[in-house]
Structures are given as structure tokens and as C-alpha cells.
């Protein structure tokens, strides 16, 4: 298995632009998580899905952030409009059941908003 | 979300010395996981502890879960340069609890 695949690896965008981050979880995993990592705040859970259904989105910073999981093999995290404070590394992770097994993380997307 | 503290935040050790990081919860946990993140990399799952007093070993790494299931530790014997990185705990309390990683312990190895 190729693991969790995220794209793009790096994204530099101007403030106000829309940004879309993509994730392909491991086949067969039924839970998917979006995390944001910064030096100041560490690893923050933004949202997680179970069987493609959003379970907890309380970590989504504000209405500028939205996430979708149209099917078991694909998820997107969208920021519109982007702001400099959104600059961070965004990780996608997947797992079986969400608790009993460890999470497998993707390589992340490093987002820089200028 | 549950209150969990991971200490220390940073640790510098000479290569060959031992290293320990602790994850302390104010409430009883159902299980806990440990992850390692190399500089510039992504978190990688190391192990899960479930039972009270459980001890698991992976080569030079020893993981413990406290008898009260409120504390856990990761101990590395005779550190090597490959151990550099940040070690995170991920505690679980109950089905409805928000999943929150500890802040992590960043390990630096001095040659």
C-alpha cells in the first residue's frame, strides 16, 4: 500500500486566495482525520470523518475552513479566503475504527500564505 | 477535551545517555498511543498501551502505562542520533472524548 497520500506537498498562495488540500487514505481504513501543525499550537485536530461522515468538526477554526469526504478514498480541506495565519503544515491521517489502531499519517502539505 | 500534560517539552542528551518522556492525565484513560515525528517528517505510530501497568518494549524503547491508567512513559536506552525527533502521546478516555495529541517532547542528541 502506498500509504496516505496528500497533495500538494507544498503550497504558496496569496492572501485571499482559495486553497484546496487533498488526501487519499489507506484503502480499507474507515476513519480520516485532518490535523494542522504549527510551532505555537502543536498538532491540532481540525475534523474527523468516520465512514465518510463528519463526526467532529469542532476544531475547524472558522467558516473559512471546510472539509468534504465524497467517498471512502478521497477527502479535501478547503480554505477560502486564505489568510497568513493559516500558514502551517496540514496532515491527513487515516485509521481503522479511529481508536483501536494507530493512525497512519500522510507526508503533509506545507501551506504558506503571503 | 481531556487535560493531558507531556513533559519535558525539550530534552538535550549526549549520545549514549538515556531519555524519558512522560504523559500525565488528570483523568483515567482507556488507552494511550505513542508517535514519533522526525524533523521535517510526519508522525509515525509506535505503539498502543491498553492494560493497567502494561510494559512493552521495542528494541531500546520501553513504554509503560501506569497502574491507575493516568500516566504513561516512553524510555529510550542509550540514545542514538536516529532517535532525534519529537515524541507525542495520544491519550484516549472514552468514545465521546475529543482526540487530542500531547504537545510532544522534542529530543536533541548531542554528539
Best B32, B34, B37, B43 residue to mutate vs chain A (most A CBs within 10 Å): B43
Res B35 pLDDT > 80: yes
Interface of B with A (CB under 8 A): 31, 33, 35, 41-48, 88, 90, 92, 95, 98-101, 103-104
- All residues of chain A having their beta carbon less than 8 Å from the beta carbon of residue B104 are 42-43
Query: For the segment B74-96, what is each residue's pLDDT rounded down to a tens digit?
Result: 999 999 999 999 999 999 887 65
Query: For the segment B40-80, what is each residue's pLDDT rounded down to a tens digit?
Result: 999 999 999 999 999 999 999 999 999 999 999 999 999 99
φ/ψ of B55, rounded to 5, equals -130, 125
Res A46 pLDDT > 70: yes
At residue A21, the pLDDT reads: 98
At residue B93, the pLDDT reads: 84
Of A56 and B47, the structure prediction assigns the larger pLDDT to B47
On whether the CB atoms of residues A22 and A28 are closer than 8 A, the answer is no
Q: Three cell numbers at B98? A: 475529543
Q: Which of B42, B92, B101 lies at the smallest CB-CB distance from A99?
A: B92
User: What Å distances lie between residue B86 and A9, A31, B108, CA to CA?
Assistant: 21, 24, 9
Report, as an integer, the average pLDDT of A9-35.
96
Report, as an integer, the average pLDDT of A56-83.
95
Amino acid at each position: 500500500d502506498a500509504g496516505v497520500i496528500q497533495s500538494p506537498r507544498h503550497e504558496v498562495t496569496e492572501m485571499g486566495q482559495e486553497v484546496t488540500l487533498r488526501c487519499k487514505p489507506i484503502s480499507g481504513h474507515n476513519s480520516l482525520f485532518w490535523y494542522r501543525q504549527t510551532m505555537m499550537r502543536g498538532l491540532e485536530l481540525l475534523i474527523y470523518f468516520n465512514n465518510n461522515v463528519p463526526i467532529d468538526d469542532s476544531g475547524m477554526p472558522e467558516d473559512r475552513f471546510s472539509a468534504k469526504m465524497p467517498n471512502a478514498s478521497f477527502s479535501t480541506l478547503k480554505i477560502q479566503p486564505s489568510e497568513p495565519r493559516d500558514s502551517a503544515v496540514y496532515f491527513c491521517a487515516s485509521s481503522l475504527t479511529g481508536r483501536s489502531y494507530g493512525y497512519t499519517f500522510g507526508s503533509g502539505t506545507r501551506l504558506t500564505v503571503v | 477535551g481531556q487535560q493531558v500534560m507531556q513533559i519535558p517539552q525539550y530534552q538535550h542528551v549526549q549520545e549514549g545517555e538515556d531519555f524519558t518522556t512522560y504523559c500525565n492525565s488528570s483523568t483515567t484513560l482507556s488507552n494511550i498511543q505513542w508517535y514519533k515525528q522526525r524533523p521535517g517528517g510526519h508522525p509515525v505510530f509506535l505503539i498502543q498501551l491498553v492494560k493497567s501497568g502494561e510494559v512493552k518494549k521495542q528494541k531500546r524503547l520501553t513504554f509503560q502505562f501506569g497502574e491507575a491508567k493516568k500516566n504513561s512513559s516512553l524510555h529510550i536506552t542509550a540514545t542514538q542520533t536516529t532517535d532525534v525527533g519529537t515524541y507525542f502521546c495520544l491519550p484516549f478516555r472514552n468514545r465521546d472524548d475529543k482526540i487530542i495529541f500531547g504537545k510532544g517532547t522534542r529530543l536533541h542528541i548531542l554528539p
